[in-house]
Structure 1
């Protein structure tokens, strides 16, 4: 496994395992299998409703806790100092862990849902900074934050976000935001790396996959990590779990990278941090 160094000095695996929709026994089995097949980063969130299953899967794997990088997230309806503290403890208890490696604000507050969205984000962030200082969280970060949210947060924060997890896939990779984060030394992490299945219909991606005798899925995942962006593919199928981590035995050419970069808009989820609750997650 390859790692990226975060701005706080911690190392995060370049390829992790996403658990959205992996619940109950299926979730336990998927997390256990992923860890036994070499994954060392597990991504969950309070809103996924599977933190108990993820925690059980981690323990069932028998892999030492200090070898596993665990991410969970604070839901956007709880963006206050007190709620952030309580929601973190709830997540920690459900996971049955002593600490979290990365805790993210899942979505930023917006003007539709908070009278003062800047203060809501800042208050939740203050709680996270304190939890980090107490050793309960190793790294703190955000998810789905635009530049305006990051700039506002920087005016009150003492700790810079280590990670910004955003929608990032062929056909929608938010290049300006990625460039901004990299200039700020904030690592970018991709969610929805396969564009909710839309990539499988694309002829350019099919052709590149054939060239490398591999799958469209692996071409997309490889494209993401060649951008130095962390990727967290999700599956509950053992064969796909095993295949999604095998990304280091081929490399896309610069021409292929450019072809994928230039694909027209494809597979955008429609989920937007300024518009919720018009969309679900």
Structure 2
């Protein structure tokens, strides 16, 4: 079993440096997948109410019998739930069969692209999350899919700054501007779709570097995030792949090769952008 290093959030909470993404986990196999992930070494699990996997994850954790204190559980509030943030939060706790979360996020910054008052709605939700944090029901709070233009109005009016931000980040879609902003303001960046869901993994540069470092393309993608201080959240249904995805802490990509990855042409973008309608690519 792999031992995963951790990173420290701005409030001092330790978060594992790699997590397991729980989007679109097969309902019938959640317990099996969670058991395999725990056996591989994962302790950081990222879900959301929108994923509809919270209930299955909660049941899986109960069946596996792992101590809750060993786990780092993240969930997110969906766009349509922001009118009653507190109720949505406690509904997630109930489905996950836990009395606290390690991290709770606003899933998207603009619940309705046509709504000019989205900043106020983000702030209203955030103020409730601040209260939940102060109560101790959640150990850290953050956001997902927030770019600098979404973070700035929130940070100008909040009491507690976001501790994390989750964005689509992978070779070919590095989000360099947003990553730099997060680092400047002490926000821990996390990467969803760090393997581009396979869309960019056939790129010649990734194939070249996999051969050079005697690693898989997927390990190169994950090391790309880890080496920048970004927490990747890969998902896999294969126990072997789960273990390999954690085996990225014992090698280093050279400075030159990292610049090649960070400047490679856009590849593998999902088509999702918080300020525009989703584009199919």
Bin for the TM-score computed over the shorter chain:
over 0.9
What is residue 200 of structure 1 aligned with on the other side?
201
Q: Any idea what SS the aligned residue of 1:247 has?
A: coil
- Paired with 1:7 and 1:31, the residues of 2 have a C-alpha distance of 29
Shift of 1:111: 6.1
- Paired with 2:242 and 2:136, the residues of 1 have a C-alpha distance of 31
Q: Does 1:69 align with 2:83?
A: no
Alignment of 1:183-262 (within 5 A): 183-262=184-263
What is residue 42 of structure 2 aligned with on the other side?
39
After alignment, is 246-255 or 131-140 more displaced? 246-255
Q: Does 1:170 align with 2:194?
A: no
- Which of 26, 45, 50 matches 1:23? 26
| CA shift in 2, pair 1:60/1:37, >3 Å | farther
Q: Any idea what SS the aligned residue of 1:100 has?
A: coil
- Paired with 2:273 and 2:183, the residues of 1 have a C-alpha distance of 21
Shift of 1:89: 0.9
Q: Does 1:152 align with 2:147?
A: no
Is 1:44–1:51's contact at 8 Å kept on the other side of the alignment? yes
Alignment of 1:27-176 (within 5 A): 27-80=30-83, 83-109=84-110, 112-176=113-177
What's the CA shift string for 1:185-238, capped at 9, x where partnerless? Answer: 000000111112122211111111111211000000011100000011001222
What is residue 268 of structure 1 aligned with on the other side?
269
Is 1:35–1:58's contact at 8 Å kept on the other side of the alignment? no
Q: What is the CA RMSD across the aligned residues, in angstroms?
A: 1.4
What's the CA shift string for 1:125-172, capped at 9, x where partnerless? Answer: 011111111111000000010111111101221110000000100011
Is 1:33–1:61's contact at 8 Å kept on the other side of the alignment? no
5+ residue gaps in structure 2?
none
TM-score (norm: length of structure 2):
0.95
Is 1:111–1:274's contact at 8 Å kept on the other side of the alignment? no
Shift of 1:279: 5.9
Is 2:113–2:276's contact at 8 Å kept on the other side of the alignment? yes
Shift of 1:46: 0.4
- Paired with 2:258 and 2:50, the residues of 1 have a C-alpha distance of 34
| CA shift in 2, pair 1:18/1:180, >3 Å | same
Is 1:72–1:100's contact at 8 Å kept on the other side of the alignment? yes
- Paired with 1:120 and 1:114, the residues of 2 have a C-alpha distance of 10
Is 2:210–2:220's contact at 8 Å kept on the other side of the alignment? yes
Query: Runs ≥4 in structure 1, deviation > 3 angstroms?
Result: none
Is 1:169–1:224's contact at 8 Å kept on the other side of the alignment? yes
TM-score (norm: length of structure 1):
0.95
Shift of 1:110: 5.6
Shift of 1:113: 4.2
Shift of 1:78: 2.2
Is 1:141–1:161's contact at 8 Å kept on the other side of the alignment? yes
